[in-house]
Amino acid sequence: MHTLDLDEYRRRAEAFSAELEKEAYLHFSGQKETCDTAAVYDRYPELFTRAAVTELNERYPTVTDDPKRQLAYLIAFTTDGYLSAATRHLSDQVANTESRTTIEVDGEQIGLRVSSVVQANEADRERRARIQRARLEATTAHLDPLLLRLWGQAHGLARDLGYPHYLALYTEIRGLDHLLLRAQAERFLQDTSGLYHRVMERLVRDKLGIALEDLWFSDLSYLFRAPGYDDVFTADRLLPTFERTLAGLGIDLGAQANVHLDTEVRELKTPRAFCAPVRVPDEIYLCVLPQGGADDYSALLHEGGHTEHFAHTDPGLPFEYRHLGDNAVTEAFAFLFDHLSFNRRWLAELLDYDEADDYLFFANVAELFLIRRYAAKVAYETELHASDDIAGMAQRYSRRLSDALMVEVPAENYLVDVDPGLYVASYLQAWMLEGAFRMILQDRFSIAWFQSPAAAQWLKELWAFGQHFRAGQLLLKKGGGRLDFDPLRRHMERALGR
């Protein structure tokens, strides 16, 4: 017997989603010291019960066509929420512990959350290593015990729902074969291994004056922080450059009443840009704290891609297609904007950066590093989430990532480097989708597509779908073929040589 009123359930689910996003926005924008998402869950106790999960799954075989897709997204939301609600107090503890914990380096107290920024800006190699050691010690002492409890509880809940493990649960509710994705990722790692070794060796020698074999993990954030390009990517030009980029597509950021740009300086504000889609498409927050540097530009473009996708979503779509669905889709649009910072014409037109060969080499090596890191992560996480021994996975994490990145990765990060729900898969599929979209845009509208009204219209038509379609389906709608790593590999080979 069905007891859920689906219309009322959807209304409450949308209200919950808005409150949850707003709570995250207030905390990470520095307006609220503590993150209390558990209180949000407590206000919607009926959404994430075992009974709700069971009933929605029982309804699934009784519907067809588009309602079946909606219900699939709703089942994923409810099941994910069931696990999140049960572990939310621990999640809040992790966030609040990270926010409050400090480390001591050379007699100086540094907040754990900002210590990564401090390390990335530290020119002294030995001091970077000391910061790294202190961060790892704090992670082991303060975060790992909480994360071990959190993941143990999440894995137990998956088994309680009748799945052999957490991986099987998310494979079903996401409609994604994670083992196939892992095989694709491992093939990408194999295919790009020689290229990666060659270009990383050159980059490390050029920027740090050492051989790749002598690289420390603590050097990476400084290497990719790229201070040598700060005179191009200045803090004062960050927002105007982003606004001009949108203007080239016919989008006036200042006139978007549904987009709230937060540029206030606050002590507890996270330094990295982020987007909070509180009510899609009516209330979207883009939070920025301009620091300067190439990574700052990339982060704002990335979050700006999310922002414009959500802001242009058709308001008439049902809740499931505006707020739920396949997150690889919105991540693909974020990457599409993010990768404008690799576009030679964009650099020349927006930043007057004509002699950009050195930077473009750096940026593409950094991107290859990141994709390989996530390819190794999906291999690790598919093992982690099928394992009965979470605490025993630390060395497996280190080996998987060290082999892919060709630098020794600390085992201590084996839990802090894991996002809920195998979100790593969304990033990898997003890279695939973005690689295909970038090829289509450049083929149809030239490398300067960011100045094309026709390209803007092409994007807006896609944005209007929200997340109605999964990544592979959306690509097929645009005649882009099968979702795989080939476009990315070809981009890298063209940019860096075979």
What is the rounded radius of gyration, in angstroms, for the C-alpha atoms of the chain? 22
pLDDT at position 92: 87
| 38 vs 164, higher pLDDT | 164
pLDDT at 154 over 70: yes
Sketch out the chain's domains with CATH numbers: 6-174 (no CATH), 178-496 (1.10.1370.30)
Average pLDDT, stretch 314-340?
97
Average pLDDT, stretch 35-44?
89
pLDDT at position 113: 86
Average pLDDT, stretch 386-395?
96
pLDDT at position 478: 80
pLDDT at 240 over 60: yes
pLDDT at position 396: 97
pLDDT per residue over 18-28, tens digit each? Answer: 999 999 999 99
Average pLDDT, stretch 430-451?
95
pLDDT at 164 over 80: yes
pLDDT at position 293: 87
Work out the pLDDT band at 132, boundaries 50, 70, 90: very high
pLDDT at position 2: 67
pLDDT at position 348: 97
180-189, 349-358, 470-479: lowest mean pLDDT where?
470-479
| 477 vs 156, higher pLDDT | 156
pLDDT at position 51: 95
pLDDT per residue over 441-470, tens digit each? Answer: 999 999 999 999 999 999 999 999 999 999
User: pTM surpassing 0.75?
Assistant: yes
**Residue 327: alpha-carbon gap to chain centroid:** 9
| Chain mean pLDDT for the chain | 95
Work out the pLDDT band at 1, boundaries 50, 70, 90: low
Q: Are 207 and 223 in contact (CB under 8 A)?
A: yes
| 213 vs 92, higher pLDDT | 213
Average pLDDT, stretch 282-299?
93
pLDDT at position 261: 95
Work out the pLDDT band at 339, boundaries 50, 70, 90: very high
pLDDT at position 271: 81
pLDDT per residue over 98-115, tens digit each? Answer: 989 999 999 999 999 889
